[in-house]
Amino acid sequence: MSTIDLKNPNNLRVANQLRVIEALRNKPETCPALAKALSLSGVAIKHITDELLKENIIVSYGIKSPKNRGRKATLLSLNNDVGVLCAIDLSGRDLAVAITDVSNNIIVEDAARNILYIDDEALEKVAQIVKNLLSSPLVKKRKLLGICVSTPGEFDNVTYDFIYAPRYVGTINNIKRFFEDRFQVEVNIYNDINLGLLGEQRYGSIPNSANDVYFVFLDYVAGSSLLLNGKIFEGARGHAGEPASYPKDNEFTKNLFSGRFYTINDIYAYIHEHAKDYPNEPFYLTDPFSFEQIATKYKEGDPLISEAIEYSAKINAIQLIAVSNLLDLEYICLEGKMLELGATYTDLIIHYFRKYDANHTRAQILFSSLDSAANMLGAIYQASNMYFLNLFAMLAAKRTNSSDHDIKTFFGNNI
């Protein structure tokens, strides 16, 4: 993991450029307002904004100042006419596409719906949706500047070939290459849970100031990601956050939950295993029954389902305790379908987290306010981040008459 050296003038300039861009994403501002908000001198903010204006990254326009009649204040805003960005989320059953401006405003969106396994035909459908959206009158023929893809599965962080991706069943093994070949722009690929964390911090429950966060997806399957020291932690091979997986044919490991979470599929298994203890309840023998039916019966106080869900809360709380103590976290944020069990379930997780934590960790447990939208919002945000980082790398090279400034290495995973 690269360390950001802010004593380096180029890195410091880029850090401040990113702060200006972030401020202007929210609304247009004057130079004095930017200087005050970012705690920069008027001279420093003028150097930064002059360069961005010269390169057409931001634009200026005058408005009447309410405090100084007759004088015009100069407002700065991002140049949304320069082009558009594309965010693609392949993590759900609806393979979603959004076209946005560089301020992260969604212009048009669509999806290839109800796709469980992603084959070549499904990817071609997604590519066609991108083409259709780009031809929308609302896009106004603006140039495509880049694509960011949120994907399930594990891929090589150098070649981007898939290593383990059970939802992908076709011959296409490299999503980055697939979209770059079709659209001739840079494509950035990220694990879906990493982008979910980014989306949740930018737009959801995780405070913007948080530096150390464990973000956990609890659904039919589970996944997680880590924000450590303000940077998405990917690990040596880019797979940090993957829960443990053990052989099912081994007596010692087949029922082991150390290092992994108790999912909806595990709740199903628990109900089927213990259904024999409730011979007068035919529902337990129904196969399959839906998660919505489980959630309803849980809220009605069904004994076996309540027992299964309470057991899952205990297992999941212990896993959260282990990671929180190991990493000394500020926040844990949970998302996924299991949150549809309601406040009774989330209260159980908090209860057992506090009850079983002998070290009394101070990590605060949060719950997603974005639900399934977190991954797409993270992809939208990161698409514009990488676009600006590419521009800032070129500006750094121009300023120093050198190409030796890999800005993305330093800033690519920083929130």
Name the pTM for this structure. Answer: 0.90
Give the C-alpha separation, 156 to 191, whole Å: 11
2 band by pLDDT with thresholds 50, 70 and 90: very low
Strand 162-164 to 106-112 pairing: unpaired
Which of 106-115, 255-264, 269-278, 370-379 holds the top average pLDDT?
106-115
Domain 205-368: give its CATH code.
Answer: 3.30.420.40
CATH 1.10.10.10 domain range(s) in the chain: 9-78
Q: Give mean pLDDT, residues 50-76.
A: 80
| Crossing angle (nearest 10°) for helices 31-38 and 42-54 | 120
Give the C-alpha separation, 192 to 185, whole Å: 21
| CA distances for 248 relative to 167, 252, 254, angstroms | 20, 9, 4
Digit-coded pLDDT (tens) for 380-403: 999 999 999 889 888 888 887 776
Q: Give mean pLDDT, residues 229-238.
A: 88
**pLDDT higher than 60, residue 64:** no
Residue 331's nearest CA partner among 226, 239, 219 is: 226
Would you state the torsion angle of the CA atoms of residues 145, 151, 156, 158, taken in this order, to the nearest 10 degrees?
Answer: 10
Q: What is the fold, at CATH topology level, of the domain defined by 9-78?
A: Arc Repressor Mutant, subunit A (1.10.10)
Q: Give mean pLDDT, residues 233-255.
A: 86
Q: How many CB atoms lie within 10 A of CB 51?
A: 17
One-letter amino acid of 374: A
Digit-coded pLDDT (tens) for 289-326: 889 999 999 999 999 999 999 999 999 999 999 999 99
Give the C-alpha separation, 406 to 389, whole Å: 10
Given a contact cutoff of 8 angstroms between Cβ atoms, the answer to whether 43 and 71 are in contact is no
For the chain, what is the mean pLDDT?
Answer: 90
**Six token digits for residue 236:** 């040596």
**pLDDT higher than 80, residue 408:** no
Digit-coded pLDDT (tens) for 319-378: 999 999 999 999 999 999 999 999 999 999 999 999 999 988 889 999 999 988 999 999
What integer pLDDT is reported at residue 15 of this predicted model? 85
Q: Give mean pLDDT, residues 7-29.
A: 85
Give the C-alpha separation, 58 to 55, whole Å: 8
What integer pLDDT is reported at residue 139 of this predicted model? 98
71 band by pLDDT with thresholds 50, 70 and 90: low
**pLDDT higher than 70, residue 167:** yes
Give the C-alpha separation, 349 to 313, whole Å: 5
Digit-coded pLDDT (tens) for 199-228: 999 999 999 999 999 999 999 999 999 999
CATH 3.30.420.40 domain range(s) in the chain: 84-196, 205-368
Contacting residues for 50 by C-beta, under 8 A, at least 6 apart: none
What integer pLDDT is reported at residue 253 of this predicted model? 87
Count of residues for the chain? 415
Give the C-alpha separation, 199 to 211, whole Å: 15
**SS3 state of residue 166:** coil
Give the C-alpha separation, 146 to 102, whole Å: 10
Digit-coded pLDDT (tens) for 78-134: 999 999 999 999 999 999 999 999 999 999 999 999 999 999 999 999 999 999 999
Q: How many CB atoms lie within 10 A of CB 267?
A: 21
**Six token digits for residue 345:** 């379930």
243 strand-pairing partners:
none
Query: Which single residue is written with the structure tokens 């010692």?
Result: 252
Among 24-38, 122-136, 179-193, 270-284, the least confident range: 270-284
Q: Give mean pLDDT, residues 35-63.
A: 91
**pLDDT higher than 50, residue 1:** no
Contacting residues for 63 by C-beta, under 8 A, at least 6 apart: 72, 73, 75
> Pick the residue with more confidence: 152 or 398?
152
> Pick the residue with more confidence: 217 or 8?
217
The CATH architecture one would assign to domain 84-196 is: 2-Layer Sandwich (3.30)
b/e string for 57-84 if b means 16 or more Cβ within 10 A? bbbeeeeeeeeeeeeebebbebbeebbb
Give the C-alpha separation, 62 to 75, whole Å: 6
